[in-house]
Amino acid sequence: MEFFRGAGFDNGLVVRALAAVIDDVYEMTDKDSIVVTHSQGGGPGWTSALYTDHIAAIVAVEPGGAPSPDSKEFQALLDKGIDIVMYFGDYIDNGDPAIGATAAWQGMRQGCYDFTEAYNAAGGNSTVVDLPKIGIHGNDHFLFQDLNNAEIAGLVEAWIAENTTY
């Protein structure tokens, strides 16, 4: 998949391991998993839906992209009824335009908005939470290390309660 760019990152290995853990959790608990991903780790979350039937939801924190609507990953997520939420901090829109990462993150976030529009139009449940748009500021790429991490955790917990059955 194109959105995995890290040197030495073996998406296939990570995805198979993640799917195996999800299946093990299901065998132990008889419950589907809520997969929480971050940044480049978002990719295995999307792809794991190809290898397991036991994902209730994906919480993607600043994912480094989302599957395109014509991809097999998109279709697997949709077919399995996986609820999805993606969170983005406020450094993206106020980043220095001379830094390439600013435009890159704006593009990745837009890809997540595009994913959500297509996913919801096809009958899925996806939400993008752009924290500054809801009045939450002070977040960089590592939302759970920021000073308002309890507020972010509360948002995630409320979304899970409102959107998933696991």
Q: How far from each other are the two terminal CA atoms of the chain, in whole angstroms? A: 28
Tell whether the model's pLDDT for residue 160 goes beyond 70: yes
Window from 69-83, 91-105, 122-136, 150-164 with minimum mean pLDDT: 91-105
pLDDT of residue 3: 46
Tell me the whole-structure pTM to 2 decimals.
0.92
Residue 148, domain extent:
32-160
Query: Does residue 13 fall inside a structural domain?
Result: no
Tell me whether residue 148 is in a domain: yes
* Rounded Cα gap, residues 132 and 39, in angstroms: 19
Tell me whether residue 5 is in a domain.
no
